[in-house]
Structure 1
Amino acid sequence: MLIKLSRDVLNFIHNYCTKIAILILITTLIQACLDYIFLPKQEELIFMNNFVGIGLHNVIKELSVDQQCILFRLSAANSISKILSSTFLFGNILTMLHLISTTNESNQHLNIGNIIASAMLIFPKFLLLIFCTTLFVQLGLIIAIIPGIALAIIISLTPVIVITDNLPIMDAIYLSIKISYRNFHLITPPILLWFLIKTILMSILFHHYYYWIFITKIFVNSFNNALSVIILIYLYRLYMIIKAI
């Protein structure tokens, strides 16, 4: 099943690579604009990098009030950027997948403008969904890494279910947990690989290239968006197969 799903994902990316690339580019530009507006100055970020590797409690004790404000702004800006950009990307990619699977739209007639316009209709609902799921996963990661990853796995189908079945958010989360529990062996590998690649990439880039923090963040966001799209396509295809059984 994993091999079949992987082939389906590769075929879809091959057929719609241009539109996928455009949506990833737009999302990355949105993130770059938000980062430019909200993030602290480069000098402040470089100063904050000196505290990487120190426990959060010790970091807060070492910082002055102004430096604590910088840390708060950095955290808030990153959260806002992540939630808004994820809402845009997830909504548009899943809308495109849904349009392709439920209509006779061909690659030539599927317009980026139509995809974005259709996705805007569900933007408020998706914004709340992404906020809730991000909050759940972050709370899990605060407790420990494993609970956070486990939460990410069991609620990973929620955006797909909201798009395809038009269910309320809590009903979609409940259904996602049920389906993920039964198909844990199919959902876990790609998400674990996603976490591993993200962690390695961010560790390498932000440790060695923090002097070019803004450019580095654009590169990381682009790569992360591409990984997210691959996972979304995989999960959408998996859910369609499960529904058909």
Structure 2
Amino acid sequence: MAGAVEELKKMAIVVRYEILKHLRRKRIYVAITVFMLTALACVLVPAYFNAPMPPDARTFGANYVNFLGILELMTIICGTFFVGDAIASEFEHKTAFISFINPVKREVIVLGKYIAAFLPVALALSLYYLVGAVAMYTSYNEISVRFIMSYLLELLYLASVIAFTMLFSSLFKRGILASILSFILLFLVFPIISFILVFAGIYPIAVLTFAGQIVTEIFMDYPMMEEIYTGHFTFRLYHPMLIDSIISMLAYVVVSLVISTIVVKFKEV
């Protein structure tokens, strides 16, 4: 028990040190600024153009979270570039000779870096949803349960994106390479794979970005699969189901962190 407490204390030190690094690099401020500007745009732009208000809080929440697809894009950008150099930079700049030789288990360092990357972006996301919640309550005197669910699912999606990027950071020795490769996979390759699987009639829940769509689709009551008839062809359109998406994203978090820890543990300094 005492040993576990000691390891947690060491992890807290790693988290604190990594967050200070993010503060020095201004990353936290940039993330918060971008998310806040996006949130204000979601609220003020429709009002400026005198767009009609949605009929209920649930529809308002759906429009807010779906606004120009910015939320998903920012999640991927922040998730990849906050953690892409978390481990890779230690080997790139030779600081691993100090970090990984100290009497701190490497798995503690990996988890500490992961938590330190997650917390700042989670804060920015929380502020984004807070603005939406205030606007929703001001207009409808209630906060949609689906909006709260979307927020929690978004945090889980962020956690899975960061864990996935952490995996590449542990595999490469250049942080920018890990960040760019993770971004390309999440932003371009995974959506293409999802499209191909859907076209082939396969439910692509194993693809992270498809599972992450539950953040926006939680507002609607979709069936898992819809059949669309176009001429002589029948096209199947799949939607991520809540439980399936949660399991898929949790699997990405656990598997990515386990592999990252194993790779770092046996990586030569």
Q: What TM-score, normalized to structure 2? A: 0.36
Higher relative contact order (CA 8 A, sep 6+): 1
Name the structure with the higher helix share: 1
Name the structure with the higher strand share: 2
Which structure's CA Rg is the greater one?
A: 2
